[in-house]
Structure 1
């Protein structure tokens, strides 16, 4: 088996299996920001990526795509149900998102999580060259850093947490709270989206494990009596801006944006929401606020249309099934009350779209509503800003997203406050062009200067400082 100087470990491989023109199957690179950020480094440093291929009960040999070695980790259907849908998405996800939905605690899910994390750690240990670097990603793999350190004490280990980390009062509910903290502290650098997340993590370490914490540094005792230092701090993630700038400038995409506006009856203002269908995204609150503005006559369907894209998500988890029903019921009621023959109040789309169509939607939208109840970062906000080369458009942004720390010129809002949300929507709808331009210029500067390549460089620099090669 080939070994690599730089190994990425993530729940999923950066490829999808698709049908080839000849009717067979082939692998295509997924269009994710993480792949774009790490691809240049993976190529130059002879990199490998450890992850699940997305299909249960399939054993695949390692293979190579575009100069990157891919090392598939097999999962059984039962492990997908218990480790992924269970512990990762029905225990950790709701707990780490402020218990917006109640987390489920099941011992057999935890056991599956431990088993699968060990399998990932073993695959990474086999793939890493002597004194190599391994970068582990996200909440599905929180135990991997410590397991990997036990197997390979020679490698440098980074971990990045893409979702929020909860306040100690919530985190303390987790029956396996100490094991998870120790798992994360196996890394040399533990990265979070927000300074607040890093603070919550360090507080949990201090209170639960009683380790010494100075600033962002934790003294982690080893079995041999020696201590090492782990660093925990914020590295806000971003997007690969190039494809968004390129698509936004393309005549066919701009023509499609005009077509979208025309198909909606050329309203004065188009409001847009783009989310995974998830209870953390605040879609219900947004729909409610918009419905009330129509009912009060402050907005009129002849002049304003709201487009909500809600891409399907975790459709086998009960909370998501109920959420879809609630949102579709609310949308149906508002449309029933306010639609005219020529205009629809809410155009609701429960489907995913290719990037070209998303950029056309961003260009068509006058107001972007990002009103998540809790979000690690929220890259949709940054995608919208990247496409607005005309410096027009308004971003309404929840204070409870990581993006709110950086994007201060957005119209910031507490999405739990429906009256406040209504006022923010009205501010955005009525904002003069001059003010839109002033705010958008500042937002664009921030997003274009701090892209995903800058994020990965900052993280890897920190890793190098802690553990220089």
Structure 2
């Protein structure tokens, strides 16, 4: 494995030569520093890297992305059978392109305006500039006729930019977050430019069919293109059809085999038992695992749990809520306010209901490695996924994959993409606190035979549709597109 210093000294990637190129905001590696101050690269956790690494190894793949450190320039280097092509970003780039347009304009807009998006021309200008930087880096390493797969909302202009400079490429795009209804997307001042950017791709993939339908409606309305079924007749500036693009649902999943294997590890199982003991061995452990984000409905589930304690339906000692909230965008104002509100609410509930031996809400503002997460899933009886809007939510799938014993109950927001596939969860509208409270109590009281029946059905779905199947079906569909 090369060190970070080795990467900086290596020669740049040759022009062309790579048959398969992934383009994402981040590279699939994280820089780590040992006790002696030596830096090296470790493979990032996550389903996308897991799914695409084998494909890239077979196809002489390259991955284009930012390496995570602003104001630092690195040359391309090899790691784990992949050519890694860093795209440099300055601190100002991160502020305007990433924290600004990507996460303060697009993220709230695409998540149903739970928080009002901000529209600033300086952000948009930098978003265009950075997308062009990514497109140019990709064009320089893609072989003639290569397949390029662009990932997510930060890079929606890259497909069209690539199409203009490299018409020989087969281009796919996957949107990992929701795509908003026409009436919400209408607010974006640069809506036509974004749609045109996406339609540089031969195939535009979404988590849910409803997201694909939203996109098709926007294309028909704001571009005036002919749309038939999933097919879009892309036109030139004179209104003449020049090629066909497609929009399809390809719901992403997890590495279910890895999660199941970890759940069978004696050390992980022992850790799960230890977690329950540390919580005071309550009858029911309820679990929430999220990034600390306003879209995740963390406040709603804590409010519902607090009311169940106040109503006397649940009692401390009988039930404990464990809430893992990993840090997220800690410099953004809305996230700072959310953290303060969540911590205030947790403190009030614990102050009211804690006993000397038991805590009502165990709040953990940390990120944890996958082994600890699987232990938490095993320790939990009820998983609470109460997102107000979510492209998919892989935590729900990981919880199911971990429970090969078919134990446990999933309470799942109908506004998460996973709800389309996991119909045997207890589906709720998290805005309806009374319904959410009722679902929690139904989960706590559900007979073991019924919970096992539901989990068995959902596990079959998860195992049959893992992350490898997701990448395979998307790429097969992309390969079948015709210009």
After TM superposition, the score normalised by the length of structure 1 is 0.99
Deviations 1:54-112 (A, max 9, x none): 01011100000011000000011101000000000000000000000010100000000
Residue in structure 2 matched with residue 5 of structure 1 by the alignment: 19
Alignment of 1:80-99 (within 5 A): 80-99=94-113
1:401 aligned to which of 410, 416, 432: 416
- The Cα shift of 1:36 comes to 0.6
Deviations 1:29-59 (A, max 9, x none): 1011101101111001000000000010111
**What SS does structure 1 have at the residue aligned with 2:21?**
strand
In 2, the alpha carbon distance for the partners of 1:401 and 1:452 equals 17
1:108 aligned to which of 122, 142, 147: 122
Kindly indicate whether the alpha-carbon contact (under 8 Å) linking 2:350 and 2:361 is maintained by their aligned counterparts in 1: yes
| Structure 1: runs of 5+ lacking an equivalent | none
- The Cα shift of 1:23 comes to 2.6
In 1, the alpha carbon distance for the partners of 2:403 and 2:35 equals 36
Q: CA RMSD in A?
A: 1.0
Residue in structure 2 matched with residue 53 of structure 1 by the alignment: 67
Kindly indicate whether the alpha-carbon contact (under 8 Å) linking 2:30 and 2:43 is maintained by their aligned counterparts in 1: yes
**What SS does structure 1 have at the residue aligned with 2:395?**
helix
**What SS does structure 2 have at the residue aligned with 1:42?**
helix
| Aligned positions, number | 468
Residue in structure 2 matched with residue 149 of structure 1 by the alignment: 163
Kindly indicate whether the alpha-carbon contact (under 8 Å) linking 2:257 and 2:463 is maintained by their aligned counterparts in 1: no
1:130 aligned to which of 138, 144, 147: 144
Residue in structure 1 matched with residue 6 of structure 2 by the alignment: none
Residue in structure 1 matched with residue 176 of structure 2 by the alignment: 162
> Is 2:194 aligned against 1:184?
no
2:265 aligned to which of 230, 237, 250: 250
Deviations 1:178-207 (A, max 9, x none): 000000000000000000000000000000
- The Cα shift of 1:467 comes to 3.8
Kindly indicate whether the alpha-carbon contact (under 8 Å) linking 2:273 and 2:379 is maintained by their aligned counterparts in 1: yes
Residue in structure 2 matched with residue 389 of structure 1 by the alignment: 404
1:305 aligned to which of 313, 320, 332: 320
Kindly indicate whether the alpha-carbon contact (under 8 Å) linking 2:271 and 2:375 is maintained by their aligned counterparts in 1: yes
Kindly indicate whether the alpha-carbon contact (under 8 Å) linking 2:26 and 2:66 is maintained by their aligned counterparts in 1: yes
Residue in structure 2 matched with residue 121 of structure 1 by the alignment: 135
**What SS does structure 2 have at the residue aligned with 1:320?**
helix
> Is 2:360 aligned against 1:345?
yes
Task: Flag as ranges the 4+ runs of structure 1 deviating above 6 A.
Answer: none
In 1, the alpha carbon distance for the partners of 2:378 and 2:335 equals 29
In 1, the alpha carbon distance for the partners of 2:136 and 2:367 equals 35
Residue in structure 2 matched with residue 316 of structure 1 by the alignment: 331
**What SS does structure 1 have at the residue aligned with 2:64?**
strand
Residue in structure 2 matched with residue 440 of structure 1 by the alignment: 455
Residue in structure 1 matched with residue 442 of structure 2 by the alignment: 427
Kindly indicate whether the alpha-carbon contact (under 8 Å) linking 1:222 and 1:228 is maintained by their aligned counterparts in 2: no
2:393 aligned to which of 378, 390, 394: 378
Larger mean CA deviation between 224-233 and 211-220 belongs to 224-233
Deviations 1:365-409 (A, max 9, x none): 000000000000000000000000110000000000000000000
In 1, the alpha carbon distance for the partners of 2:142 and 2:215 equals 28
Kindly indicate whether the alpha-carbon contact (under 8 Å) linking 1:15 and 1:29 is maintained by their aligned counterparts in 2: yes
- The Cα shift of 1:240 comes to 1.0
Kindly indicate whether the alpha-carbon contact (under 8 Å) linking 1:156 and 1:467 is maintained by their aligned counterparts in 2: no
**What SS does structure 1 have at the residue aligned with 2:70?**
coil
